[in-house]
Amino acid sequence: MRLGYDLKIEQSQKLVMTPELIQAIQILQFNTQELDSYVQEQLLVNPVLEQAGSEPRESSEHVSGVNTAEHFEEHMTEHREKASDYKNDEFDWKEYVKDRQYDDISYRQWEDRNGEEKENAYEQYVYSDVTLPEHLMFQLQFASNKKGCRRVGKYIIESLDENGYMTSTVEEIACATGAPQEKVEEVLEIIHGFDPVGVGAKDLAECLVIQLRQKGQLTDLFEKVINRHLEDLANSRLGVIAKDMGISPQKVQEMSDIIRTLEPKPGRLFASQMETKYIVPDVIIERSDDDYVVTVNESSTPRLMVSSYYSKLMKQSENDDSLSKYLSDRVNSAVWLIKSIEQRKQTIYNVVTAVVKHQKEFLDKGSKYLKTLTLKDIAEELGIHESTVSRSINGKYLQCPRGVFEIKYFFSAGVSGSHGEGISSNSIKEFIKEIVDNEDVKSPYSDQEMVKMLKEKGISISRRTVAKYRDELNILSSSKRKRY
C-alpha cells in the first residue's frame, strides 16, 4: 500500500450558513421583545435604516418596509445593466436614487408636520403603583413619636422581603441601629398591627397567628395547631392532627377552613419593586361568522424602511468608490433585514393558520376539545422543516376568543379516543378537573375510579397517568381531599 497526497475534483452538495441566513433564522426565533431590541440595535448600527412612524406619511419618497423591499427587488433587474462599473455586479443605487429624485425632507423627523404644538394628554403620564415599603412608611409616620422608634421602624421595614417577612433577627436589628432589643421588639409589635395584617412576621406560623389575633379568633388550640401541625394542615392530614390534639376531625376541619382564608404572603398584595412584564400577542384570532380570521399583530412587528436622506450622499459619492460601496452594503443589509422580518411574519401566519385549522373545535367549544398536534403535522402540511415550526412558535403568543395562549399550548401529545381521534393531554386534564369539581367532598373519587369514568367517555388511560395529570393540576389525592 502506497501512501501519498493527490489532488482531485469532485462535486458535492452542502448547506452553507451565510451571515444573511443566520440572521434570518435568529429573527424567526426572536419573540416580540427580543426582536424589538434587535431592531433598535440595527437602527444604531445601520444609518440607512430607519423606523416608520405610527402614522402613514403622505410623502411619496417614503414607503413601508414591505413595499420598500419589494420595490428595490423590482428595480434590481431594471438597473442591473447600469451597474457594470461595480466590481461585484450589484445594484446601482446611485442611478436608482437619481431616478427616484429623493430629497432629505423626511430626515428632519423632529419637525411637527402639522405646525401645531400638541397638547399634553393624560395618556402620557404613567401611574405608579404603591410598593410595600412605601405603604408601611406612610403608616409609620403616624404610629409613634417616641425617640428612636422611627429610625428602628424604618430599618425593619427596609429589611422586609417582597412577601412582607423579616429577613433579619431582633439581635441583628438592635446591633445595626444601636437600640436595645426591648425597643426593637416594641417597634416590631407596632409594625405587626400595620396594614396588611401579618407583615413583619419571621415565618409563616407567626404570620398566621398575627392575623388570627387581629381578627379576634386566636385561641390556645389554634396557636398549638399552627405551631405544631402546619405541615399536616398543608397536606390535609386532619386525622393525624385530631389524634395528637385529642379533638374530633370535624373540629380540625373547621379550623383548617379558617386558616386557609388567611393571607400567607401579605406583601404580594402590593406592587413589586421588580419590573412588570406584559405579554404582547404576536397573532390575533377573531371569529367571523363560522370561521376564524388570523391576523398578525402589526404593533409587535417593527416597521422599517430605507431612509431617503442618504440620497444626497449617494449623489456625492459618484467619484468616491469607498463611500459608494459602503452605502450600497448598508442598503443591501437594510433590505435583507426588512425581508427577514416580513418572512418571519409570513411564517408565523402560516403556522398559526394551520394550527387554527386543526384546533377549530377547541375555539368553538373549549379546552376539553383540544386535539393532539405535533410539530411534524404542521411541518408536513406547510412543507417546511420541524425546526422552522419550532422557531416560529417559540416564546410567541396568540390572542383568541378563548383568551391569550402561548402557541406551544396547542402542541401537545395525548391518547387515541374510542373513535380513533386524538385527545390532547390538556383535554384529559380538563375532564379530570371537572370530575373533581363535581364529586362528593365526603367521598371523593380515587384515581382508579376516575380511570373508569374517563373510559366511559372514550378515554383509555392508566391510573398512573391519571395521578400524573392530577399532580400537574395541583389536585390532592382522594384521602387528602376528603372532608368530614
CATH number for the domain spanning 445: value is 1.10.10.60
Angle 439-444-447 (CA atoms, 0-180°, nearest 5)? Answer: 105
Establish if 82 belongs to a structural domain. no
Provide the 8-state DSSP code for 62: -
pLDDT value of residue 234? 86
Residue of 122 and 361 predicted with greater confidence: 361
Least confident of 61-70, 136-145, 148-157, 161-170: 61-70
Domain limit, last residue, from 222, 253, 269: 269
Q: Give the largest Cα separation in the chain, rounded.
A: 100
Establish if 462 belongs to a structural domain. yes
The whole-number average pLDDT for the span 146-151 is 74
pLDDT value of residue 421? 60
pLDDT digits (tens, 9 = 90+) for 291-307: 899 998 877 677 888 77
CA 417, CA 308: separation in Å to the nearest integer? 60
Amino acid making up residue 36 = D
Provide the 8-state DSSP code for 128: P
Residue of 420 and 52 predicted with greater confidence: 52
Establish if 157 belongs to a structural domain. yes
Least confident of 148-162, 243-257, 292-306, 389-403: 292-306
Please enumerate in sequence order all residues whose Cβ is within 8 A of that of 136, keeping only pairs 6 or more positions apart, or say none. Answer: 157, 160, 191, 194, 199
Give phi and psi for 414, each to the nearest 5: -175, -150
Least confident of 301-315, 332-346, 459-473: 301-315
Q: Predicted confidence band at 417 (pLDDT cuts at 50, 70, 90)?
A: low
Q: Any long-range contacts for 30-36 (C-beta under 8 Å, 24+ apart)?
A: 30/344, 31/282, 31/394, 31/395, 31/396, 32/280, 32/282, 32/300, 32/396, 33/280, 34/395, 35/300, 35/301, 35/302, 35/341, 35/344, 36/302
The whole-number average pLDDT for the span 423-427 is 79
Q: Predicted confidence band at 73 (pLDDT cuts at 50, 70, 90)?
A: very low
pLDDT at residue 319 tops 80: no
The whole-number average pLDDT for the span 64-89 is 43
Residue of 131 and 15 predicted with greater confidence: 131
Establish if 208 belongs to a structural domain. yes
The whole-number average pLDDT for the span 66-82 is 44
pLDDT digits (tens, 9 = 90+) for 18-36: 787 888 888 898 888 888 8
Establish if 111 belongs to a structural domain. no
Range of the domain at 477: 414-481
Which of 91-95, 303-307, 421-425 is predicted most confidently? 303-307
pLDDT value of residue 350? 94
Residues of the chain with pLDDT > 70, as a percent, come to: 78
Q: Predicted confidence band at 264 (pLDDT cuts at 50, 70, 90)?
A: very high
Establish if 231 belongs to a structural domain. yes
Q: Predicted confidence band at 379 (pLDDT cuts at 50, 70, 90)?
A: very high
Least confident of 67-81, 197-211, 362-376, 400-414: 67-81
pLDDT value of residue 321? 78
Into how many domains does the chain fold? Answer: 2
Sequence length of the chain is: 484
CA 253, CA 484: separation in Å to the nearest integer? 7
Least confident of 72-86, 222-236, 334-348, 426-440: 72-86
pLDDT digits (tens, 9 = 90+) for 266-279: 988 776 655 566 78
pLDDT at residue 94 tops 60: no
Compute the mean pLDDT over every residue in the chain, rounded to the nearest whole number.
79
pLDDT at residue 61 tops 70: no
pLDDT value of residue 208? 94
pLDDT at residue 77 tops 50: no
Domain limit, last residue, from 218, 248, 269: 269
Give phi and psi for 418, each to the nearest 5: -65, -25
Establish if 402 belongs to a structural domain. no
Domain limit, last residue, from 245, 269, 293: 269
Establish if 253 belongs to a structural domain. yes
Residues of the chain with pLDDT > 90, as a percent, come to: 21
